[in-house]
Structure 1
Amino acid sequence: MEIRNATMDDLQAIAAVEAACFPAAEAATAEEFAGRLAHYADHFWLLFEQGELVAFVDGFCTDMPDLTDEMYADAALHDENGAWQMIFGVNTLPRCRRRGYAGLLLQRAIADAHTQGRKGLVLTCKEKLLHYYAKFGFVNEGVSASTHGGVVWYQMRLDSFCGNTLPSASEN
């Protein structure tokens, strides 16, 4: 297993994993990922198993405290010095789920945000995943203003690194 940040060479593999994980209305396209990689490849955490990309987490940094639909569409809004690490996607190939891969990548994103001096991380998720992200210390802030993909999303925030205990990968 290898975890590393992305490069433009990973574009097609990233787009393929995204397409396997989300319905078309919610999935980012290869073109959108190309823009994201051009602006913030260091905020893509990739997990490879035997040389194959099987999971990734991505998102950009901003001083805006809430995740908005505009952020998904405009990678140029990334601010490397931004206070908040947004998480746009937590993706694991369906056949590779329940192995703790997403948890390992979230732990890495959280650790990197802490090291970089960010206030914390923000993500949106469907109601059925609220309990999963809560295990990492994310707090449900209620229904998000996001209407991305025509779905109801809940905004979750991890805004304090003090005393935060991360679950082991086996709990994910």
Structure 2
Amino acid sequence: MDARIFRSAMPSDAKRCFDVETTAYDGDEAATLKTISKRIAEYPEGFLVLEVDKEIAGFINSGCAYDVEMSNEDFKELIGHDSTAPNVVIMSVVVDPAYQGQGLSTALMSEFVERMTNANKEIIHLMCKEHHIPLYEKFGYRYIQPSASAHGGIQWHEMMMNLSKA
């Protein structure tokens, strides 16, 4: 069995996370190294890394807001982010293609949801491509609407999950 470790990202992880991001997202969809570095620096508790055998295999990064406007491009740079806000906005869910097909996205999402629940967050928001909607529905998200965002020249879809302490 592979040794899997979940942890918050550190500044030294930025380059590897950028490399993973650019393998998973096309062109302008991927965050820049500068943006990933900023997300790690400003909200490490919202940047969950999954290591497999001491190699970053995937991650989820996010920010928090009181009022969520999914099409707000500035928020991707954490403009308006407030770590005390109850709403979490996922920016990326990424698994390196070399590690796909091993259930890592499910493991990442489960750990992320648990951490956000324990942090007393109320709602997790995300945008995804149409073909990922069924995947996120399996995780417990519900479809909201097509997004006004045209990030990367693509049609995105907004989804959300209400969190509750069980």
Does TM, normalized by the shorter one, top 0.5?
Answer: yes
User: Do the aligned partners of 2:124 and 2:163 also contact (CA within 8 Å) in 1?
Assistant: no
User: Which residue of 6, 12, 24 maps to 2:9?
Assistant: 6
Q: For 1:100 and 1:66, locate their aligned partners in 2 and report how far apart those are by CA, in whole Å.
A: 30
Tell whether the 8 Å contact from 1:57 to 1:102 is kept in structure 2 after alignment: no
Partner of 1:57: helix, strand, or coil?
Answer: strand
**Which position in structure 2 is the counterpart of 1:168?**
none
Contact 1:15–1:30 (8 Å) recurs in 2: yes
- Residue 48 of structure 1 aligns to a residue whose secondary structure is strand
Residue 65 of structure 1 pairs with residue 65 of structure 2? no
Q: Which residue of 2 aligns with 1:94?
A: 97
Taking structure 1 as reference, are residues 19 and 139 closer, same or farther at Cα in structure 2, changes over 3 Å only? same
Question: Would you say the 8 A contact 1:83–1:119 is kept in 2?
Answer: yes
Contact 1:124 1:153 (8 Å CA) reproduced: yes
The whole-number CA distance in structure 1 between the counterparts of 2:23 and 2:17 is: 10
What secondary structure does 2:139 align onto? coil
1:66 is displaced (CA, Å) by: 3.4
How far apart, CA to CA, are the structure 2 residues paired with 1:44 and 1:84? Answer: 15
Change (3 A) 1:162 1:4: closer
Structure 1 gaps of 5+ residues are 164-172
Alpha-carbon distance in structure 2 between the residues aligned to 1:8 and 1:77: 21
Cα separation, 2, equivalents of 1:162 and 1:35: 30
Q: CA RMSD of the aligned region, Å?
A: 1.4
1:40 maps onto 2:55 in alignment: no
- Would you say 1:107 and 2:97 are equivalent positions? no
Distance 1:48 1:160, change over 3 A: closer
Aligned partners of 1:44 and 1:36: how far apart in 2? 7
Name the structure 2 match of 1:84. Answer: 87
Deviation at 1:118, TM superposition (A): 1.3
Counterparts of 1:6 and 1:145, CA distance in 2: 30
Name the residue aligned to 1:56. Answer: 59
Moved over 6 A (4+): none
State the Cα distance separating 1:65 from its structure 2 match: 2.9
Aligned to 1:25, what secondary structure does the other structure show?
helix
Could you say which residue in structure 2 is the equivalent of 1:141?
144
Provide the rounded CA distance (Å) in 1 between the counterparts of 2:102 and 2:146.
29
Equivalent pair of 1:39/1:76 in contact (CA under 8 Å): no
1:127, 1:9 → 2: CA distance? 33
Any gaps of 5 or more consecutive residues in structure 2? none
How far 1:160 moved relative to its partner?
Answer: 4.1
| Counterpart code for 1:100 | G
Q: State the distance in 2 between where 1:98 and 1:161 align.
A: 29
